[in-house]
């Protein structure tokens, strides 16, 4: 296994197999469980279509994935610097691009595990099975670039700021802003500002794609524009992180 | 009584009868029926359709006829009129004139918002006709489960339990260190 692979394996192991990683997954599962249990208890929600519940669950999984990516990304470089382990890492025979790849591969593995974790929850709340497979595909295709993009963003910012706490704050604020469509339904985003925000916001792109696929029954392949927005976000943040890593000083 | 007097009496009687008929208030009859395509056991969220027919059975026209749909909940202890705010956007109609023998048919769509037992009624009235309700149409609305608790509960409780078990096992193996 090459150096990049070893780094990716180490990152994934820390994120998934350590007590801290398992704690993260436990926290994610508790959030998803809480949402599922609230759905059972609420009579008001009885008017919702089951597809609406699946859509909500997809949005929550994406939000949690992005949150996990932000935490891992903030720790990836800034955390290494604070622990004093950045210097040995930079001295290791790994190109800077490989370093970025190894770090993000660990986050990708954590996201993949989160997707696996989310599947039983989607099955549990999707009692009618309406567009479940399409929703799952949309989650993989749209949720992945959105979540990993936030990981790249935190990683790049951490490389510049050198402080995981200083990195977390702006990233979390941006994530909250970006994920606000989870709380504000489409009808509340019909103003010119709302439409413009939806057009450039990768989180909105993912949510609108979930809406189209799960609730409206459109094919996942028809969500090209939304996928493009998510990919532009991923490419932009990857470039941001790449430049940040290349400028790293010992 | 001469023949002329008799003719005059008959004419006066006929005129009086006509005048009575023209001054008698119009009579409305309202019928209400559920659409045959409505589900037999409706549940929350379903959209039902009801048809009403308002017929002027009187001999005089009924101007300015107003008809509206009403809904009352009849579950024991919960008897109440229902605010149709969320149930129906089509709550009333007005008809300028219903001629004698004429009938007006109206569709009343309704979205079922809450579970329970209900009675639907359409009532018609005009400035001259008496208030006329239709016969009730009874409605039993079932609760609609959005999620199935027998699917959610095992997952919602089982997955965190599994992860917690894994976490505790991990901590035991590593002696509490991360």
Subunit contact A39:B45, Cβ cutoff 8 A: no
How high is the pLDDT of residue B4?
56
pLDDT in tens, A193-214: 888 888 899 999 999 999 888 8
What separation in angstroms does the CA of A43 have from each of A34, A40, A182, A213?
A: 16, 8, 21, 26
Reported as a single tens digit per residue, the pLDDT across B155-178 is: 999 999 998 888 888 788 776 554
A45 CB within 8 Å of a chain B CB: yes
Note the pLDDT tens digit of each residue in A97-131.
888 998 999 889 989 999 999 999 998 888 766 78
- Tell me the chain A residues in contact with residue B173 when contact means C-beta distances shorter than 8 Å: none
DSSP E strands, chain B: 28-34, 47-56, 62-73, 80-81, 92-98, 103-111, 116-125, 132-133, 137-141
Asked if A40 lies within 8 A of B171 by C-beta distance, the reply is no
Strand order through the sheet with B103-111:
B28-34, B47-56, B103-111
B51 with B106: CB under 8 angstroms? yes
**pLDDT at position B125:** 93
Q: Are A12 and A104 in contact (CB under 8 A)?
A: no
* A231 close to A152: Cβ distance less than 8 angstroms: no
Residues of B in contact with A23 (CB under 8 A): 167
More confident residue, B137 or A182: B137
Q: Which pLDDT score, from 0 to 100, does residue A88 have?
A: 84
Residue of higher predicted confidence among B32 and B22: B32
Please tell me the predicted confidence (pLDDT) of residue A151. 95
Question: Mean pLDDT of all residues in chain A?
Answer: 87
Tell me which of A234 and B19 has the higher pLDDT. A234
E strand or H helix that includes residue B162: helix B149-174
The CA distance from B109 to the nearest CA of chain A, in Å, is: 17
User: Could you report the per-residue pLDDT of A27-73, keeping only the tens digit for each?
Assistant: 999 999 998 888 776 655 556 667 888 899 999 999 999 999 999 99
Who has greater pLDDT, A226 or A131? A226
Q: Between residues A128 and B19, which one has the greater pLDDT?
A: A128
Contact B156 A17 (CB under 8 A): no
In angstroms, what separates the C-alpha of A245 from chain B's closest C-alpha? 27
Shortest Cα–Cα distance, A17 to chain B (Å): 8
Backbone Cα Rg of chain A:
18
Give the pLDDT confidence of A121-158 residue by residue, as tens digits.
998 888 766 788 888 999 999 999 999 999 999 999 99
pLDDT of residue B171: 80
Instruction: Look at chain B and count its residues.
Output: 178
Partners of B110 in the β-ladder: B48
Identify which has the larger pLDDT, B136 or A76.
Answer: B136
- Partner B contacted by A30 (CB < 8 A): yes
Residues of B in contact with A40 (CB under 8 A): 147, 149, 152-153
Fold of B25-146: Immunoglobulin-like (2.60.40)
What DSSP element (H or E) covers B21? helix B3-23
pLDDT of residue B177: 52
Using alpha carbons only, give the angle A30, A133, A152 rounded to the nearest 5 degrees.
Answer: 60
| pLDDT higher than 80, residue B3 | no
Listed in sequence order, the residues at least 6 apart from B14 whose beta carbon sits closer than 8 Å to its beta carbon are: none
The predicted pLDDT at position A140 comes to 94
Contact B146 A127 (CB under 8 A): yes
Residue ranges of alpha helices (H) inside chain A are 3-16, 19-41, 50-74, 80-83, 86-91, 96-125, 132-138, 144-161, 164-178, 192-200, 202-210, 224-246
CA angle A66, A28, A100 (to 5 degrees): 35
**More confident of the two residues B5 and A208:** A208
- The count of domains in chain A is 1
Domain that holds residue A99: 3-246
């Amino acid at each position: 296994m090459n150096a990049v692979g070893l780094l990716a394996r180490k990152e994934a192991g820390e994120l998934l197999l350590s007590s801290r990683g398992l704690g993260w997954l436990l926290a994610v599962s508790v959030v998803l469980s809480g949402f599922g249990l609230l759905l059972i208890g609420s009579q008001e929600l009885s008017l919702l279509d089951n597809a609406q519940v699946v859509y909500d669950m997809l949005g929550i999984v994406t939000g949690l994935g992005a949150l996990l990516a932000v935490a891992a990304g903030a720790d990836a470089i800034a955390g290494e610097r604070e622990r004093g382990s950045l210097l040995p890492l930079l001295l290791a025979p790994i190109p800077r691009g490989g370093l970025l790849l190894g770090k993000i591969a660990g986050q990708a593995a954590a996201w993949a595990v989160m997707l696996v974790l989310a599947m039983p929850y989607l099955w549990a709340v999707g009692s009618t099975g309406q567009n479940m497979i399409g929703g799952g595909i949309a989650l993989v295709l749209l949720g992945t670039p959105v979540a990993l993009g936030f990981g790249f963003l935190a990683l790049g910012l951490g490389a510049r700021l050198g402080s995981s706490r200083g990195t977390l704050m702006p990233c979390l604020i941006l994530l909250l802003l970006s994920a606000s469509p989870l709380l504000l339904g489409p009808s509340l985003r019909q103003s010119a500002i709302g439409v413009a925000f939806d057009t450039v916001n990768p989180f909105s792109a993912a949510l609108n794609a979930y809406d189209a696929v799960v609730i409206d029954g459109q094919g996942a392949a028809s969500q090209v524009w939304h996928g493009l927005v998510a990919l532009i976000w991923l490419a932009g943040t990857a470039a941001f992180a790449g430049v940040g890593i290349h400028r790293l000083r010992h | 009584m001469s023949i002329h007097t008799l003719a005059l009496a008959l004419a006066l009687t006929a005129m009086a009868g006509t005048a009575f008929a023209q001054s008698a208030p119009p009579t409305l009859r309202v019928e209400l029926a559920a659409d045959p395509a409505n589900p037999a056991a409706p549940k929350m969220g379903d959209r039902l359709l009801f048809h009403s027919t308002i017929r002027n059975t009187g001999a005089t026209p009924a101007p300015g006829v107003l008809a509206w749909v009403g809904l009352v909940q009849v579950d024991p202890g919960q008897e109440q009129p229902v605010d149709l705010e969320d149930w129906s956007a089509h709550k009333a109609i007005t008809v300028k004139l219903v001629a004698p023998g004429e009938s007006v048919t109206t569709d009343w769509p309704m979205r079922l918002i809450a579970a329970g037992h209900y009675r639907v009624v359409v009532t018609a009235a005009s400035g001259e006709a008496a208030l006329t309700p239709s016969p009730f149409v009874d409605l039993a609305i079932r609760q609609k489960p959005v999620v199935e608790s027998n699917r959610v509960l095992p997952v919602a409780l089982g997955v965190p339990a599994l992860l917690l078990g894994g976490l505790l096992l991990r901590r035991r193996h590593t002696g509490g260190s991360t």
